[in-house]
Amino acid sequence: MDGLDDEVNARSGIGMTSERTKMRMIEQLRKDGITDERVLGAMAELPRHAFVEEGIASRAYEDTPLPIGHGQTISSPFIVALMTQLLLENRTPAKVLEIGTGCGYQTAVLARLVKEVYTLERIAPLMDKARGHLRDLRFYNVRFKHADGHAGYAVGGPYEGILSAASASHIPPALKEQLAVGGRLVLPVGTDDQWLYVIDRTEKGFTEIKREAVRFVPLVPGLG
C-alpha cells in the first residue's frame, strides 16, 4: 500500500508532509479516546487526502468534516474512527453494510477491517467517484449499489454490522430486519437534534443505546 500512498500523495500535491500530518491525526485520535488499534492502523494506512478535492487536500487530516460535492461531506476523522470502533467493539464482523458511500473513505476503512463490504449511495456521481478511489487503492472486497439507504440491501444480508454515514429521522425498520442475530447497527438519528445510536440484535430482540450528540447530513429518500 505504501507505493500507492506515495502515488496519491504526489497526485494531490501533499508531498512528504502527508505522512507526518497523518500520524498527528492518529495521535490526536488516541488522545480523544480511540483505543482500537485495528481502527487506528487502518486509518494510518489510508491516504485520506486522496478522497477529497485537490483544492482542500491540505485539510484532509484536520478533525473536521469537508465538502465532497452534491451537498455531502466526508465525516471528520474522529467520527469515522468512533463509529468504526463501536461497530467492531468485541467483534470482527465478516460482512458489513454501509449506508451512504459518499467519497468512499469510511468504506475504505471498513474494507481494511472486514472481509466483505456492501455500500449504498443514492447519488450516482458520488458512487462512481468512490468506486474509482477504491479501485485506485486496490480494494476488491467492496460491492457498490445505487440505492435508497432507508431500504438497505436485503439481497446481500443478513449483515453482522451496519453503519450509516447519514442521519435518519427514525431508525429504518429495514436496517434492523437485515441485521443478523449477534450483529450491530451504528447510526445517527434525528433531524435538528441528532444522536448516535448503537443497536444490537440478540436472540431475544433489539437493544438500543443512545450515545453522543452528532451532526450529519440527512439520510434523504429516493435516488439522486
pLDDT in tens, the chain (224 residues): 444 444 444 444 444 347 889 999 999 999 999 999 999 999 999 999 999 998 999 999 999 999 999 999 999 999 999 999 999 999 999 999 999 999 999 999 999 999 999 999 999 999 999 999 999 999 999 999 999 999 999 999 999 999 999 999 999 999 999 999 999 999 999 998 999 999 999 999 999 999 999 999 988 887 76
* Tally of CB atoms within 10 A around 206: 12
Does 55 map to a domain?
A: no
Does 1 map to a domain?
A: no
Provide the CATH number for the domain around residue 103.
3.40.50.150
Split into its structural domains, the chain has a count of 1
Does 42 map to a domain?
A: no
Q: Is 167 a catalytic residue?
A: no
Does 9 map to a domain?
A: no
Dihedral angle sign, alpha carbons of residues 77, 29, 169, 201? positive
User: Choosing from 12, 75, 164, 167, which is the catalytic residue?
Assistant: 75
Domain span at residue 161 reads 65-214
Does 210 map to a domain?
A: yes
Does 145 map to a domain?
A: yes
